Amino acid sequence: MAINYTEDIQIEKSKTSKIANVDFNNLAFGRVFSDHMLVCDFKNGEWQNPSIVPYQPVTLEPSAKIFHYGQSIFEGMKAYKDSDNNVFLFRPVDNFNRLNISAKRLAMPELPEACFMNGLKELIKLEKDWIPTSEGSSLYIRPFMFATGQGFHASPANAYKFIIACAPSGSYFSGKVKVLIEEKYSRSANGGVGFAKAGGNYAGQFYPTQLANNRGYQQVIWTDDNTHEYIEEAGAMNIFVRINDTLLTVPTSDRILDGITRKSILTIAEAEGIDVEVRKIKVAELIEASENGSLKELFGAGTAAVVSPISGFGFKGKDYELPELENTYGALLKKRITDIQTNKSDDPYGWRVKVC
């Protein structure tokens, strides 16, 4: 039976707003937070009614299992305004479904759809004024869940907290990035949690990325855990490769996140008449294509950046530069997606969801 949580959401409004102190023309990504957040607790075997409260710290016991066994998952979403001040989300049901896929893999309780969707919409309605309208900006939305149940014994917790917090943000990346193809470290492994939005996946990336930063690269292209012969992801994003006029990306697996932006790009690329292949891509193929001039583009794709162009990559002590093109697939596909998100174009796919 469907449960409608909307009427049950208790809303405690903040007595004072921080919005007057925010420079919306100079927003870093994910550094400023809006006035409210959605909170919902899992206790006694069920999710309690969600509530919207002022943005505030969370208090936990030192024995909370999040600190010891890492049961933590999250999603990344955005809210947008159009020129008439209408507010939209982009494929929110996909985020909800993926959150529960992650929860199941980490032995965490799945969240009811009504709790997620209705709670999210009520929060966005309340925070409508926090949605920036400058080009490339949006209200970044972070739904996340973590273990609050106590105990040092290695087992799933018996209590969890779900929160949605929001951050008005500018562009995630500015300009192109230079990446290093990883030869030693792995992001994930077969049978692991690479396909889940688990916090530990990202913690494990930081050290190899720091090593790449020290060598003058901004990010890492991850390779498979077994042979390191195949490329898999670009930093925290799915990766796309253009060889001649064909757009390639690798198939999802236990190791690779089923990105919502990735799926959107594949759908739109096919609609644009672009030849698309989803298959494994060898590092050797990438090197050969760069050397013979058939490698035209590399870019990462994800919620935060949408599309992040890659200017060049390093491998075994040698750098390979990408050509400067006037009309790129990356720029075209980013525009098609952002035009749908901001209601500048029709949405033939039913991805855009109006909030208010």
Domain boundaries, the chain: 6-169, 177-341
**What one-character-per-residue DSSP string does 240-283 give?**
EEEETTEEEEPPP-SSS---HHHHHHHHHHHHTT-EEEES--BH
Q: Rounded CA gap, 254 and 261, in Å?
A: 18
Element (H, E) at 100: helix 92-105
- Specify the pLDDT at position 3: 35
Contacts of 167 (CB under 8 A, 6+ apart): 29, 30, 31, 32, 33, 34, 139, 140, 142
What is the identity of the amino acid at 353? V
Both tokens of 243, joined, read 């060889």
Both tokens of 91, joined, read 């494929």
Judge contact between 75 and 135, C-beta under 8 A. no
**What is the CATH T-level fold of the domain 6-169, as seen in this structure?**
D-amino Acid Aminotransferase; Chain A, domain 1 (3.30.470)
Judge contact between 306 and 338, C-beta under 8 A. yes
- Specify the pLDDT at position 347: 98
Contacts of 316 (CB under 8 A, 6+ apart): 183
CATH of the domain spanning 177-341, picked from 2.60.40.4070, 1.10.1040.10, 3.90.640.10, 3.20.10.10:
3.20.10.10
Q: Is the pLDDT of residue 205 over 50?
A: yes
pLDDT digits (tens, 9 = 90+) for 145-191: 999 999 999 999 999 999 999 999 987 766 779 999 999 999 999 99
Q: Is the pLDDT of residue 4 over 50?
A: no
Whether 6-169 shares its CATH topology with 177-341 is answered no
**Number of other CB atoms surrounding residue 3 within 10 Å:** 13
pLDDT digits (tens, 9 = 90+) for 77-128: 999 999 999 999 999 999 999 999 999 999 999 999 989 999 999 999 999 9
Judge contact between 356 and 87, C-beta under 8 A. yes
Contacts of 160 (CB under 8 A, 6+ apart): 41, 42, 71, 108, 109, 145, 146, 147, 148, 149
- The 8 Å CB, 24+ separation contacts for 337-344 are 337/261, 337/264, 337/265, 337/268, 337/306, 337/307, 338/306, 340/90, 341/78, 341/80, 341/88, 341/90, 341/138, 342/80, 342/81, 342/82, 342/88, 343/80, 343/82, 343/83, 343/86, 343/88, 344/82
The pair phi, psi for residue 312, each rounded to 5°, is: -175, 170
**Number of other CB atoms surrounding residue 58 within 10 Å:** 11
**pLDDT above 90: percentage of residues in the chain:** 92
Both tokens of 64, joined, read 């909370």
pLDDT digits (tens, 9 = 90+) for 309-337: 999 999 999 999 999 999 999 999 999 99
Q: CA 259 → CA 26, 236, 263, distances in Å?
A: 28, 10, 6
pLDDT digits (tens, 9 = 90+) for 227-282: 999 999 999 999 999 999 999 999 999 999 999 999 999 999 999 999 999 999 99
Judge contact between 79 and 123, C-beta under 8 A. no
Q: Is the pLDDT of residue 66 over 70?
A: yes
Q: CA 34 → CA 47, 91, 95, distances in Å?
A: 25, 22, 21
- Specify the pLDDT at position 174: 65
Contacts of 243 (CB under 8 A, 6+ apart): 285, 289, 294, 295, 296
- Specify the pLDDT at position 5: 41
Q: CA 339 → CA 174, 273, 306, 318, 331, distances in Å?
A: 19, 18, 12, 38, 12
Residue pointed to by tokens 């066994």: 69
Q: Is the pLDDT of residue 1 over 60?
A: no
Residue pointed to by tokens 């985020």: 95
Q: Rounded CA gap, 149 and 158, in Å?
A: 5
**pLDDT above 70: percentage of residues in the chain:** 97
SS3 176: coil
Q: Rounded CA gap, 183 and 177, in Å?
A: 19
